[in-house]
Copies of this chain bind each other. A is one copy, B any other.
């Protein structure tokens, strides 16, 4: 008989494409999201938290670059054979909520939402299958004042996070683009389905201007583009003249908003949709100027189109303009961290009635990375004061010290590992980024004193001081037990 083996041990691993967030990572993200929520709140937006799980039919199919239903989402069948899925963004659940509670919600309904979303996509470096989004939307207002408000709020978010001068919110309008498409002859208002395929290619090409450059975009909207590896992507097949019109639109950004708008007016010619779009941009620019948001913060820029198919009017994108060094050591702009726009048809899926809506989504991980790059991270990541254990029978005394410190508002803990090796206790304190170690052996206890070891100063001295200086232990002070709290407060700069 074969010898029985024990059961295989489970692997201690996150699933592929998922990750854990520890200590400072969680605290820093929370501090950032709290700041953003504060701005959203001040603008009158209310929080909404929908469940992570939705029915597949409610979610719909709005992921970019995805054609089959369920593709890109994590989905499963429940016991009633209904398909359920994890939400892939925060907009689809909002559309469901706006339809489900349409008789109870205030209208317009301003809401913000922050939380994880899930994408069943191939993971890659820095690309995870669960990540945070942070959205604000106004449902039920068709006024461009709602779009302008979203842009102003986004600008305030960056200012409040300490990124003033390092960002720009760029605004465009899908209606203007549609007007240009009409002029170029790839959109027939009488038959909107015609040329939809070509327009899709044009839009995606414009959206990738940063990546492909002007020549690449021109190739994609014309005959097609050969990439560096020799792969050929078929183009939209526009003639040179048609392509000129589209490229003219993309490059219409002028020295100021007025000049840009003038160019756009010419480009959309007689297209009623185009003219409407230009008027909306003009209104947005005026509203923002009246509130003091100059083009250094929010600017009309026709090269912004946003990839998602559901936008119907103004679209926005926020870019961080400072330079970082990429993985190959080359300087480049930090780039896009938020985007959004007007989507008037998402609620209609459920109710049959069109409900105007506009909003923005902030890429939380990218924005946090930007704050790191600029040294603007707000969370306090200092470790606790560590009360060391010199005598394990006196645990009650050590815990009482930690309690006293905590009651005085000081983060503190007792070392709870095996106390035998004191060096391990100090290594632990170091790993925790502890500012101070409290030491009380039998001798100190008898004399009514404790030793306070300033670990930050100690580390500095260890790195810089001579052997004599180091031996004199300037980072360690003896204080009366009764003065423990006061002396720790003083060392922490809280006094």
Contact = CB atoms under 8 A, between A and B. Distances in A.
A341 B27 CA distance: 26
Nearest to A385: B44
A53 B41 contact: no
Interface in A106-136: 106-108, 110, 116, 118, 120, 129-130
Contact of A428 (B10, B43, B101, B107): B107
B399 A149 contact: yes
A62 interface: no
Contact of A19 (B51, B286, B400): B51
A81 interface: no
A96 B19 CA distance: 12
Interface string A387-403: 00000000111011001
B403 A291 contact: yes
A351 interface: yes
Given A9-B350, A416-B143, A53 B106 contact: no
Contacts of A396: 286-287, 290-291
A99 interface: yes
A52 B397 CA distance: 40
Contacts of A416: 108, 138, 141, 143, 145-146, 149
B432 A106 contact: yes
A57 interface: yes
B12 A99 contact: yes
A400 B351 contact: no
Nearest to A19: B51
Contacts of A58: 10-13
A287 B399 contact: yes
Please tell me the size bucket of the interface on A: 35 or more
A274 B168 CA distance: 68
B52 A130 contact: yes
A491 B97 CA distance: 34
A152 B412 CA distance: 14
Contacts of A23: 46-48
A352 interface: yes
A18 B290 contact: no
A152 B46 CA distance: 36
Given A53-B118, A106-B431, A145 B43 contact: no
A466 interface: no
B44 A413 contact: yes
A145 B18 contact: no
| Stoichiometry, copies per complex | 2
B15 A53 contact: yes
Interface stretch (A72-80, A209-217, A450-458): A72-80
**Most chain B CB atoms below 10 A, which of A130, A286, A395:** A395
B140 A417 contact: yes
Nearest to A37: B30
B107 A417 contact: yes
Interface in A15-62: 15-16, 18-23, 25-27, 30, 41-44, 46-55, 57-58, 60
Contacts of A411: 41-44
A82 interface: yes
Contacts of A48: 20-23, 26
A399 B50 contact: no
Contacts of A204: none
Interface string A423-448: 00000100110000000000000000
Interface string A208-249: 000000000000000000000000000000000000000000
A167 to B, nearest CB: 18
A60 to B, nearest CB: 7
Contacts of A156: 406
16 contacts: A9-B351, A10-B55, A10-B60, A12-B99, A20-B51, A23-B48, A25-B49, A30-B47, A42-B411, A52-B118, A106-B432, A138-B416, A287-B396, A290-B397, A291-B400, A291-B403
Sort A-B residue pairs by CB-CB distance and give the 3 closest, nearest first: A44-B413, A12-B99, A290-B396
Given A16-B80, A23-B46, 6 more contacts: A15-B55, A20-B51, A20-B101, A43-B413, A53-B118, A108-B417
